[in-house]
Amino acid sequence: SEEFYDISTNQTIQISEGSGIAVSSELQLEPSSALSINLFPNPAVSEISVRVEHQQPSYYTILVTDVLGRTLSSQTRFLSASQTVRISDLSNMATGLYFISVRSQNGTLNRTKSFFVQPF
């Protein structure tokens, strides 16, 4: 038995030898444009702004992580429309590469971008 996913119809197709073809549409994909994030300035010194563009008002968690995946800061906010969120606690961070992830409350939307912290 083999299973294929048809993106154009958003359906799973299962082909089994001798038993025919079964089609189901259990899997739902979110459009890639449903959530996007932009970071500025990048590189950052003491703070960074995260422009969160989305089509689904909800609670979103904004995480700052290092290259080892350790969470350095986390905040959850209700975003009713596209908004800019400022993260101002970067001054204690060493120079280097970091990541900002934005996740919807139900976990279906998730975007991550990298940024660089430079010295004062």
Percentage, residues of the chain above pLDDT 90 = 53
| Same-domain pairing of 3 and 61 | no
How would you classify the pairing of strands 11-16 and 58-66?
unpaired
CATH of the domain at 57: 2.60.40.1930
Domain with 13, as residue range(s), is 1-30
Domain count, the chain: 2
Residues whose CB is less than 8 angstroms from the CB of residue 11 and which lie 6 or more positions away in sequence, other chains included: 5, 23, 24, 25, 27
pLDDT per residue as tens digits for the range 64-90:
999 999 999 999 999 988 899 999 888
Residues whose CB is less than 8 angstroms from the CB of residue 67 and which lie 6 or more positions away in sequence, other chains included: 96, 97, 98, 99
Q: What is the pTM of this model?
A: 0.70
pLDDT at 94 over 60: yes
How many Å apart are CA 3 and CA 20, to the nearest integer? 12
Residue 34, helix vs strand vs coil: helix
